[in-house]
Structure 1
Amino acid sequence: MAISILRKLDKYLGNFIILILTPTTSKKPRSEINLNTSKILIIRLWTLGESLLTLPMIKKLKENGYDISVLVTKRSKGVFENVDFVDEIIDLGDFFKIIKKFKKYDVVIDTEPYLNISAILGWFLGKKVVGFKGLFRDKLYDLKIEYIDKTHAVYNFCNMLRPFGIDYKPEKLIPLKYTEKDRENVDKLLKEYSLEDKKLIGIHCGTAETAPWRSWKKEKFAKLIEKLVEDGFYVILTGSKGDYKVNEKVLNLVDDRFNDKVFNFAGKTNLREFAYLLTKFEVFISNDTGPMHLSAAMETKTIGLFGPNLPERFAPFGRGNIAIYKADSLDCSPCINVHKGEFKECKLNGKCMDLIEVEDVYSAIINLVGK
């Protein structure tokens, strides 16, 4: 089913369900949680990127002695399978398991930005629910946290710790774990292409289907690749199987002289292997999408390209990483606000991304790794 149809169903049917459930929800204002609480459920249904951005908050809860469960879908599950501070993972597709957990958790933390379904699930599964205020669904929350629009998402998620008496501002993300077998598979892949001793740069040309106009133009990626190869770097284009064709289109725009130093790795690694592969790069360049956040989490020097979204919210998190944004002059930017569920169709053919020049990205790379 198309994402646009799912959003409409969630909006109209979800609003109706919330109206029905609202009379059963306490109207007393609250600012803190009973500290005898032990069982906490985190709702994190979508996206690789924001799942990674919740991990500092979740780890801090675990360090404070709470039992942590996470409700996921296949889009987010891999993140939580590869950390050691989550006690239970529940798949949204396991309907009967979820039904049996009615009011099972002392507190549910709804980290989803705007969908009604997560608030409804929180009401069903938790005795108390924490979530962001400002949307209709917050009628189902017992504790409502202010979403600060021009604050990084990592800090907004960590603000959800305040009802527990925890004030926390992390300095970096949490890396995903990979196994010795994952390491061996990636090293074997690099050796297959004679890349094991080369200076590597990773580039992610694709982006999520929710807002494809977040992508930098293929022609500019191609020009950047040519400059990097001329400097002696080898370039790996990353992604899932769905990114393979996008990468091939970029490769077809690269001058034939450089083709033996540019490689399409889309679909060649799983999530854990990709996490390890990222550690092999001198620098990683990406559109505003999940792999950018994973690169930052793996402490690889990361450059994120922004236009429809603000870097204040979603820049690659951590000291030394760079977000490039040049759309201040455009009234239409930002046209994405995840917290409000706004994904306006671009009418200017991605002009905000076009404002980023090849030289802007190249200079940022050289500043990070040296020529």
Structure 2
Amino acid sequence: MGEVIRCTPIITKIKETFENPEIWWVTDYPELIPDMVDHVLKFDLENYTILKNIDFDIVYSLDKELICCSLANEINAETKKGFKIESGKISTYDKDAEYLWIRGIDDKLMKKDTRNYIDLIFETSGFNFNDEKYLLPNKLEKSFELDGKKKIGLNTGTSKTWITRIWKKENWEKLIELLLKENYEIILLGGPEEKEINEELTKKYSEIKYFGVMPICEYISLLDSLDVIVTQVTFAQHLAIGLNKKIVLLNNIFNKNEYYFYNTEHIILEPDLSCKMCYKSKFDNKCLVSNCMDLIKPEQVYNSVQKLVK
């Protein structure tokens, strides 16, 4: 979902570059696509059949996944940008995509790279990035009530595909206890995968609030009501950037330079380890510690929240 959000600036560039463009977007998350897109298709057999029978001028294939690259190969288009599948491997359609492709397989280049991801996908698409903003779905009227105090959102989870990014429940508990002493209003955030931990935390700390799993547009309204958002690298991070919210980001396995925050005030906390930016989805016996996210202490996060609030 975060990948969808941080590809939305390209819509603005397409609209500026081409006269009257008709834009089609294929995605697993149609609810995230802005109204500026003419046709939003979920990837299934029916829509695949439709796409196979349309002649496009340009295809932008930006996701280095076999299924996405296979679809790009199948679609009829005069020009193709980004990534394709070739002999069972991910490859590039042209030179514009080569840097991002090489960055994905060369650890040394990735770790020293200082370019942000949006700039890289613009280059892959044949554009120059000029600070085009995230485009978010329209917000819904809020069905939740908040107090007048400073509001701190805690996004307690991340995709279980990447368990290396998850901050333990014990750490969230300690952070909540520190923040409650400052009389902040604490709101728990997350999707279906975070429901269990958020309900457990709400049961333990009656002062905090959790509004359950929300529709995307209502969730965006909730985030927009907050003063500071504490999050691991996940969907909420990208929404917070799009909403220009103050962010405390807990990062370990990714290169922090790939995130572009525009003018959003933020603090990035990372473990002090030489092996960070490993891009591992699971910890293994080559890791220097059993869980490097534990090296980011609740006290550090608390101090960062205090700094952004004050």
TM-score when normalising by structure 2: 0.84
Cα distance in 2 for residues equivalent to 1:52 and 1:213: 22
Cα distance in 1 for residues equivalent to 2:202 and 2:252: 23
What does residue 273 of structure 1 align with?
218
8 Å Cα contact 2:149-2:184 kept in structure 1: yes
1:197–1:241 CA distance, 2 compared to 1 (3 A): same
8 Å Cα contact 2:163-2:282 kept in structure 1: no
Cα distance in 1 for residues equivalent to 2:95 and 2:10: 17
8 Å Cα contact 2:156-2:188 kept in structure 1: yes
Structure 1 SS opposite 2:40: strand
24, 48, 55: which one pairs with 2:8? Answer: 55
* 2:83 paired with 1:96: no
What does residue 8 of structure 1 align with?
none
For residues 1-371 of structure 1, the aligned pairs below 5 Å read 48-65=1-18, 66-73=21-28, 76-80=29-33, 83-93=34-44, 95-102=45-52, 104-112=55-63, 114-127=64-77, 128-132=79-83, 136-138=89-91, 141-142=93-94, 144-145=96-97, 146-147=99-100, 148=103, 149=110, 150=113, 151-162=115-126, 166-170=127-131, 172-178=133-139, 182-183=140-141, 186=142, 188-190=143-145, 195-251=146-202, 259-267=205-213, 269-314=214-259, 318-327=263-272, 329-331=273-275, 333-336=276-279, 343-347=281-285, 351-370=291-310
Cα distance in 2 for residues equivalent to 1:71 and 1:143: 24
Structure 1 stretches lacking a partner, 5+ long: 1-47, 337-341
Structure 2 stretches lacking a partner, 5+ long: 104-109
8 Å Cα contact 1:199-1:282 kept in structure 2: yes
Q: Which moved more, 1:96-105 or 1:354-363?
A: 96-105
Structure 1 SS opposite 2:23: strand
1:215–1:317 CA distance, 2 compared to 1 (3 A): farther
The structure that has the greater radius of gyration is: 1
Cα distance in 1 for residues equivalent to 2:94 and 2:73: 9
What amino acid sits opposite 1:70 in the alignment?
W
8 Å Cα contact 2:61-2:82 kept in structure 1: yes
Calculate percent identity across the aligned residue pairs: 23
TM-score when normalising by structure 1: 0.71
Structure 2 SS opposite 1:92: coil
Cα distance in 2 for residues equivalent to 1:91 and 1:143: 29
Cα distance in 1 for residues equivalent to 2:176 and 2:234: 20
What amino acid sits opposite 1:203 in the alignment?
L
8 Å Cα contact 1:172-1:318 kept in structure 2: no
1:88–1:130 CA distance, 2 compared to 1 (3 A): same
| CA displacement 1:286-321 (0-9 Å, x = unmatched) | 111111111111111112101122212246554322
What amino acid sits opposite 1:224 in the alignment?
L
8 Å Cα contact 2:248-2:269 kept in structure 1: yes
Give 1:111 shift.
Answer: 1.3
